[in-house]
Structure 1
Amino acid sequence: MSYVIPKDFAVRMIDAGHSKVMLSTRDTLIRSYMAGAILALAAAFAVTVSTQTGSPLLGALLFPVGFCMLYLMGFDLLTGVFTLVPLAWLDKRPGVTLNSMLRNWGLVFVGNFAGALTTAVLMAIVWTYGFSSEVSEVGQAIGHLGEGRTVGYAEHGAAGMLTLFVRGVLCNWMVSTGVVGAMMSDSLPGKVIAMWMPIMLFFYMGFEHSVVNMFLFPIGLMLGGEFTLMDYLIWNEIPTVLGNLVGGLTFVGLMIYGTHARTAPGRQFAAKVKV
């Protein structure tokens, strides 16, 4: 599978973060728009499979198809740039400043949201025959999903908010591992296998992904979910974004950077000579 050793893919991570910061506004928006749209379609696919088969595991097993597609096509998710771009800043790459990093995050957020919202509108039309009939079984499932993952957290107060944040952390620990997975091999099968495993894990475990939620909750509102826009923002999207940032950067980006890109000097072995 032409495996790339950690020391080398750590450099690829820094290079990728640098290139994303230096990308034009137009290209950043296009790439993030398409990433949001494709990931949202994969989420719709996974929920459809889970609902129609009664097997959440099967839905999780198939969901990574969207993630693999979008990364192989060079598109960008907010969860990925949260992990890669700060490494270029820490490495003092030319042109990478705090402002340019925040600019990249903001543009990718906007692009991802626009793409996910586009897919939400299209799928709402599909599941309601153009809003002319009753919501389908899958649509109802998504509406209930939105309720449970907004007001469901709110019912637990501060403990619910903590749980939501931690689920966001755990999510991007796995998702960013998938992002790095694409750099661990120079072959197509190797890239797909390395990406597939952690993405399947996060989806089945019900962790919170900010871009997937940009699809699930707007479409939930369109299909009659009993929660509000403010419920979605306060009791899901904002804490999830923060959790995704902490999880990806802390458990993936900084760890790999710290031990593979900036390896500490090894211990010296001094042989004892008997006199």
Structure 2
Amino acid sequence: MEAKSIEYIEHITENKKNMLKQTPLDYFLRASFAGALLAFVFVMCIKFAQPFHAAGSEATYFVYSLFFGIALILVIFGNAELFTSNTMYFTISTMRKKTTIGDTLKIWTACYIGNFIGAILFAVIFYYAGIFANIPDNHFLHSVVNGKLSADTIQLFFRAILCNWIVCLACFLPTRMQSESAKIITIFLTVLVFFSSGYEHSVANMGLFSIAFFTYGLDVTSTLHNLVPVTLGNIVGGMVFVGMFYGYLNRKK
């Protein structure tokens, strides 16, 4: 039933694998671009939510999450490389023997590093732009960061599973659609499910923590409490609940 989607994934994973092997700089640039794009949109979400947060409105988190789907739309239509979606893509291609476990691990590692570099680069430029200069301690940025750093490790892991389950569906479902507008709407609404529910996305958090580090000196080591379980949970969510799920249902019989 998903033959078109599987064929598309086999094609793009072959291209990704070859790009990393033949022109690794190109691959790292695309991965860095994705990290920066997510950070771009994260800033917008925080800016939109801040007035509601300051007023104590119950609509704060809805406003905060409303437009984050733009980030994944930019990544997909901009042909950027996102770690979380690659957990699903390369699981399917490896199950179908189009790529190897070695290929998968190389892509995941390169993409993760590239995403982080892009997030940090954006945060540096954003810092010098001065948009969050001298923000008060009760600013919404502090609230979001503190919430992510204070959560229990097990909770973070399972929130990350749920997150990438939805994110990878947002990447998989549009592959069978012809209409560009249908793809955009599907991505936008599907991402709204994850972001409004409070799930955890490793690459989005890279951008958030990088911004917080340059803005008010967030302790770098404290971010590991979040990023380690969230990264592992994202891998499980994308690999098992979407990649293995559709890989098994579309196995060669």
- In the aligned structure 1, how far is the partner of 2:131 from the partner of 2:183? 37
Q: Any stretches of 5+ residues in structure 1 without a counterpart?
A: 154-159, 265-275
**Does the CA-based 8 Å contact 1:32-1:108 persist in structure 2?**
yes
Aligned residues: 244
| Structure 1 residue ranges, 4+ long, deviating more than 6 angstroms after superposition | none
Residues 240-255 of structure 1 aligned to structure 2 (within 5 Å): 240-255=230-245
Q: Any stretches of 5+ residues in structure 2 without a counterpart?
A: 54-59
Cα RMSD after superposing both structures: 2.0
- In the aligned structure 1, how far is the partner of 2:198 from the partner of 2:122? 21
Residues 36-115 of structure 1 aligned to structure 2 (within 5 Å): 36-54=35-53, 55-93=60-98, 96-115=99-118
1:142 alignment counterpart: 141
**Does the CA-based 8 Å contact 1:146-1:217 persist in structure 2?**
yes
Q: Deviation per CA, 1:216-241: give whole Å up to 9, x if none.
A: 1122122226x5211101x1111111
Q: Deviation per CA, 1:174-207: give whole Å up to 9, x if none.
A: 1111111331312210110121122111111111
Q: CA deviation at 1:68?
A: 0.3
2:129 aligned to which of 112, 126, 130: 126
1:19 alignment counterpart: 15
1:271 alignment counterpart: none
Q: Deviation per CA, 1:49-89: give whole Å up to 9, x if none.
A: 11124432123221111210121111111001111012212
Q: Deviation per CA, 1:23-63: give whole Å up to 9, x if none.
A: 23122111111111111101111111111244321232211
Residues 169-180 of structure 1 aligned to structure 2 (within 5 Å): 169-180=161-172
Query: What's the TM-score, normalizing by structure 1?
Result: 0.82
**Quick one: which amino acid aligns to residue 226 of structure 2?**
N
Query: What's the TM-score, normalizing by structure 2?
Result: 0.89
Q: Higher helix share goes to which structure? A: 2
1:166 alignment counterpart: 158
- In the aligned structure 1, how far is the partner of 2:25 from the partner of 2:165? 29
- In the aligned structure 1, how far is the partner of 2:134 from the partner of 2:50? 17
- In the aligned structure 2, how far is the partner of 1:85 from the partner of 1:228? 34
Identity, in percent, stands at 25
- In the aligned structure 2, how far is the partner of 1:116 from the partner of 1:57? 24
- In the aligned structure 2, how far is the partner of 1:20 from the partner of 1:83? 13
